[in-house]
Structure 1
């Protein structure tokens, strides 16, 4: 028997410990069952988790539970992305310090202590949510095994030229003091000025409009569209740069917009990505203006050592003083920013390591067609990203806490010296090459940059399969069954993982990709760690409302869509949990003398509810195979609330209470049915609310079913062919009961108000079922007499 009231604080921790102790979710390497593997996003160690993480990670966890109950051997690992800039920024913020102000080794030690603390907190939270993770598969992106794999994967790419080093313009965050990749760019609208400045050509003024007058000293060319008839006579001539008075060429390029500004564009090294393209295409010289620290070079007259913004104001003042500013317009201008800090980026020349992605763009587009996208619309985001790639992937970062590049440079000849595979993992700042350079030198300069954190997390399928180790089982695991992630990192984690998997294994990383939406703090603003805009922590929400309440809420959204969150919504979850508990309590009370035997014959209404849940289960399987957990839950809810509770239990209740009136075999038919259907309801809901369903199962069903946990059971009610006749009959009974209730409600009568005569109109093909259901109908409607009238459609009359 169940207690009168369900108390989640009493039960949830108990079952979490039980699952963990009994290895309920452990992956079985020896099993011959089909493996379903999940590539789970390792959360970044950059602050506390919020309701947005609960939302997306819970949706994926429900899929893990679903496949386990389809009889599959579920490989469900969890990792932590604990190296790289996000962790560094967290440590700097928490300790009110800067990495650059202390020895590198000391800062790394602080990072390690911080990541360990947060990883323990994260793990406790996931366990408190009842996640069915196999924690023996846990990994961290900074641990020795992953460091070795990451370094080895880099060496494999470098040795065949897929990873390469070059000095060229690179996207640079002057705030974070590191190079970044195109995928790490965001954009922001800033108010700025469009400044119209006269360049001089043979004594004539050629007006150029620019938002970056501080780059005048870096101007190396003026460009004109070859179809712009206004300026064709200037092509091939020289122009004098205002203030700095040196000459630059005037060239043609079709990228110049005919409609923007004056139609004459200055190319400075470097104002934007177009400048870098012109620089390389037209073999232009480089003139340094901005240093890596974001200040103007000391070689630039008038504005040396100023910040970019201050230098811009200073140049505008000088232009005005020298009558060199024809006009200035305030405009909204879109600038590229670094996604990590939100500050505008610059482009400066630097020697960096890259992975070649541009040369295989078509292969990556082909991969999009070979992967199943859920929802399908998310595929287009990936395709647009790949089609618009402009840069190879810069993978080196000028930071501290990360996986080092396993290489040195020869001090004498500059040759790159790679570490040997057997030496990995290695820190080149703490060890030297094992052999002299081919030139004979034994003096080396270690690479001080670290690998982009995405360069490691993009290897997650290889990490999961222990690729390259003695325990390597990538042949069995890759492609993995499913990748789950948010839509904002399609351009990074999804794309980079496809790149790496195709290179290292020749296979796609996974068959399916499940894209989750965001939780919004308000319209258009996602909840995030950086904005600290979540009203309550997940831990507080669990303590106030329970893990199952949060899980039930998280499962309600359509896949891939963003949703708002309010604690008020958890009242719906709690109402559901109460209803499930009460319905189960009622059923179990009626089953105290049930011996588990099936009656000789099931009454038609009992056949209907069993047939209905078979149809429900088949539909749920179809939806969940397409990752539509919200649609599946909606259908299960509809069945539970309407078909089972509001209709079936009300119809069968009197038969269960009064065998002396209805008959013992008839009562047994009802008992068998509620036993069967309630158990299946619990199994269907167990993927959503695992704690309450486990408590109900253990309290009653375990003695009969003998399984150690409900989560070890299978969904096994799916029908190959629907019994349409019995399904139609059940809908007719629902209609009859509903019309009687409506009749009484309209007259403000109690549902227990007696009816003298209930006339039922019913099709002849349902007569055989209805005759065996008359006693149930009479007791449910409180009718003294029931008369039958055969006709083409179903309906009632009340006398």
Structure 2
């Protein structure tokens, strides 16, 4: 082995070896039990950052672990290339606007540009040593995926779980599309409570509002029926300031008597409470805000203005006409679109929905059937489901996405759906094959596209080729594991559970593994939008190696956030150097090893093999619970302390001087160190696949016969010899005491000790005496006296 490890050379060679020999190919469960993994298809929206490396690498380590547990691992990869993020990327990179091009032309540009980015993404994952079967790759905008997504929709329509209706909808005026509740974020903003008087036939009623620009859309006032201040006003009318039209005063138990003045203005629509009251009391609709974020031209004084401009103008007018009693500065929490950060509006619109509110109990029951890692993440899911207020709006007023396979009769407005054999269809380019039941043969195509989550939520079905000729649901469903970050529990996890229950009547996966974030500094997630992702993964891999990045990614407890700076990689680099140097030393003494004839092993050699076995058992148990960081720390304790600090030092002289210790003693050491190092390499192979396989190729391949270390399995023993392990601890304690003594007396570790005394339980007398030559050499002592209890 070379004196120094050349990661640039080694990593390329290993990746080539794995690819040429199809080491990670899925075998369709022909000879082994299948473990299938549902991997999040990264959004094609620009460059990947260190946060992606962190979470995706943790999941990849589980794929490697399961493979070395004897499973036929189904580990695919997809790319989420339809939807708003892709549109934005193409508009920015191509300097075009989607609305200015024919949709088919814009779609072709999206496919071409996203394919380029996907290739770059793929190269990065490959450079990280991902054990993906790239034959299973998919794109959410590809024809087959579109067909599966459209098939899912049509099935939901038949089940009466998908429906279209005109109703208030969450709307982003920046992106100019409807959005779902799960796409909301919140932001604390400075605002103003504006106190206005609504005149009545008696004393005027004062209300406090942060949205005076909606006065024209005010359809009633609400008070709490238990509020003694206002109970006598119920059923009367009030006049809207400035506009001077009359509205009723109604009662509802949800009105807070403590907030503001206790009188609430209901406008269509200022917030979600307005939408509830609109439906509950069949209130009239007076639309103020249009989809482009401007005030309707019909609204006196404000028509054509943007919302914030209109708010300022309304306040000016109210002050001018002495209708503004007072103002109060406040900070309040508002709903914003998670994609752009723009405050959302609620406007009436005709949209497609999936019914989720009627099955909340079913979705909560599903949470109990899934194993959540860490378990605390289950609560986040449950709280989300319990607090759902809207059905899932799945239609988006965008340009690039999976089209709805729907047309509307020009005469009667009836929805006409594509036949399944036609899929995928684009209603803008294709026409229905049948006439409407009313006899009309002219149709208006649906122009909306699916919410990107409507397709991403069927990733288990995409992987299972749902409804296709090569459907393999019976092989991979329910999937073994879903890996994802915690911020998309309410979207990807929830929606996937919904779709799976509706389509297969079973949970989508048995386990869900939820990772944390990488933070640039306390409390700040690394993301492109925050401009704090300057360390590109490719540069980091080029400068430090893939294995260094991977070892770092396996450092934290599952589900917890971690910080990143290049300083963090020093520990990883020390590990790589230590593993290489320790392996060089070990293998230099094994050229004449005979692994086919097991010698009688000395106690210390039995101990290190037992420690490898113990660590393998502990690590497997932790990895079965997806605790990648804790498992790695178990391995580190074995490698750094027991193997390097103690075992190698204990048997070093025995390996160098067989004439002094005897040939059989050397063979015992050779056998043990051969298998101990191989066991350690197998453990670390899931974390640092390149260096472990490179060392394996250097020496072990011709002896173990498998092409790659990644074709080997971990030892499956379930019990350990506790007496041997305790002996090892006693042995380490003695050596540590000698080292401590020398250090405290300013002695070199090589300085001779005249005498050392071993005090321990008589159980270990034989083991210590059989280890005496090693102990004398390791401590550089002349004599050992034993005191056994």
TM-score category of the 2 structures, normalised to the smaller one: over 0.9
SS at match of 1:557: coil
For each residue in 1:339-372, what CA deviation from the matched residue of structure 2 results, as whole angstroms up to 9, or x when unmatched?
Answer: 1111001000000000000000000000010100
2:446 paired with 1:447: yes
Matches within 5 A, 1:596-745: 596-716=595-715, 718-745=716-743
| Structure 2 Cα separation of the partners of residues 516 and 341 of structure 1 | 24
**Alpha-carbon shift at residue 531 of structure 1 (Å):** 2.2
Matching residue of 1:768? 766
Matches within 5 A, 1:307-326: 307-326=306-325
Asked if 2 retains the 8 angstrom alpha-carbon contact of 1:8 and 1:546, the reply is yes
| Structure 1 Cα separation of the partners of residues 328 and 338 of structure 2 | 28
| Structure 2 Cα separation of the partners of residues 636 and 30 of structure 1 | 30
Matching residue of 1:202? 201
Matching residue of 1:471? 470
Asked if 1 retains the 8 angstrom alpha-carbon contact of 2:28 and 2:34, the reply is no
SS at match of 1:636: helix
| Structure 1 Cα separation of the partners of residues 724 and 150 of structure 2 | 63
| Structure 1 Cα separation of the partners of residues 4 and 228 of structure 2 | 83
| Structure 2 Cα separation of the partners of residues 612 and 552 of structure 1 | 22
SS at match of 2:626: coil
Matching residue of 2:59? 60
For each residue in 1:557-593, what CA deviation from the matched residue of structure 2 results, as whole angstroms up to 9, or x when unmatched?
Answer: 1100011101011111111000000000000001011
For each residue in 1:42-93, what CA deviation from the matched residue of structure 2 results, as whole angstroms up to 9, or x when unmatched?
Answer: 0001111000000000000000000000000000000000000110111122
For each residue in 1:17-45, what CA deviation from the matched residue of structure 2 results, as whole angstroms up to 9, or x when unmatched?
Answer: 11011100000025231100000000001
**Alpha-carbon shift at residue 599 of structure 1 (Å):** 3.9
For each residue in 1:256-291, what CA deviation from the matched residue of structure 2 results, as whole angstroms up to 9, or x when unmatched?
Answer: 111110000000000000100010001100001000
Matching residue of 1:46? 45
Asked if 2 retains the 8 angstrom alpha-carbon contact of 1:527 and 1:533, the reply is yes
| Structure 2 Cα separation of the partners of residues 175 and 196 of structure 1 | 29
Matching residue of 1:797? none
Matching residue of 2:210? 211
What TM-score do you get using the length of structure 2 for normalisation?
0.99
Matches within 5 A, 1:233-632: 233-632=232-631
| Structure 1 Cα separation of the partners of residues 44 and 647 of structure 2 | 50
- Structure 2 unaligned spans of 5+: none
For each residue in 1:669-718, what CA deviation from the matched residue of structure 2 results, as whole angstroms up to 9, or x when unmatched?
Answer: 000000000000000000000000010000000010000000000001x4
For each residue in 1:192-238, what CA deviation from the matched residue of structure 2 results, as whole angstroms up to 9, or x when unmatched?
Answer: 10000000111421000000000000000100011111111111100
| Structure 2 Cα separation of the partners of residues 134 and 361 of structure 1 | 36
| Structure 2 Cα separation of the partners of residues 790 and 151 of structure 1 | 77
**Alpha-carbon shift at residue 106 of structure 1 (Å):** 2.4
For each residue in 1:134-171, what CA deviation from the matched residue of structure 2 results, as whole angstroms up to 9, or x when unmatched?
Answer: 00000000111011111111011112211000000000
Once the two structures are overlaid, the 10-residue window that deviates more, 598-607 or 337-346, is 598-607
| Structure 2 Cα separation of the partners of residues 74 and 598 of structure 1 | 34
Matching residue of 2:145? 146
For each residue in 1:463-507, what CA deviation from the matched residue of structure 2 results, as whole angstroms up to 9, or x when unmatched?
Answer: 001110111110221110000000000000000000000111111
**Alpha-carbon shift at residue 747 of structure 1 (Å):** 1.1
| Structure 1 Cα separation of the partners of residues 16 and 757 of structure 2 | 57
The alignment of Structure 1 onto Structure 2 pairs a total of residues equal to 789
Asked if 2 retains the 8 angstrom alpha-carbon contact of 1:598 and 1:669, the reply is no
| Structure 2 Cα separation of the partners of residues 572 and 339 of structure 1 | 36
For each residue in 1:584-607, what CA deviation from the matched residue of structure 2 results, as whole angstroms up to 9, or x when unmatched?
Answer: 000000101112144431100011
| Structure 2 Cα separation of the partners of residues 243 and 95 of structure 1 | 48
Asked if 2 retains the 8 angstrom alpha-carbon contact of 1:599 and 1:665, the reply is no
Matching residue of 2:5? 6
For each residue in 1:274-320, what CA deviation from the matched residue of structure 2 results, as whole angstroms up to 9, or x when unmatched?
Answer: 10001000110000100000000000000000000000000001110
For each residue in 1:413-471, what CA deviation from the matched residue of structure 2 results, as whole angstroms up to 9, or x when unmatched?
Answer: 11100001111101111111111111111110000000111000100000001110111
- Structure 1 unaligned spans of 5+: 792-799
Alignment RMSD (CA, Å): 0.8
| Structure 2 Cα separation of the partners of residues 504 and 32 of structure 1 | 29
| Structure 2 Cα separation of the partners of residues 686 and 64 of structure 1 | 12
SS at match of 1:351: strand
Which residue of the other structure, out of 755, 758, 762, is the alignment partner of 1:757?
755
| Structure 2 Cα separation of the partners of residues 196 and 462 of structure 1 | 54
Once the two structures are overlaid, the 10-residue window that deviates more, 374-383 or 428-437, is 428-437
Matching residue of 1:794? none
Structure 1 runs, 4 residues or longer, greater than 3 Å off: 597-600
Once the two structures are overlaid, the 10-residue window that deviates more, 451-460 or 523-532, is 523-532
Matching residue of 1:82? 81
| Structure 2 Cα separation of the partners of residues 456 and 387 of structure 1 | 24
What TM-score do you get using the length of structure 1 for normalisation?
0.98
Matching residue of 1:71? 70
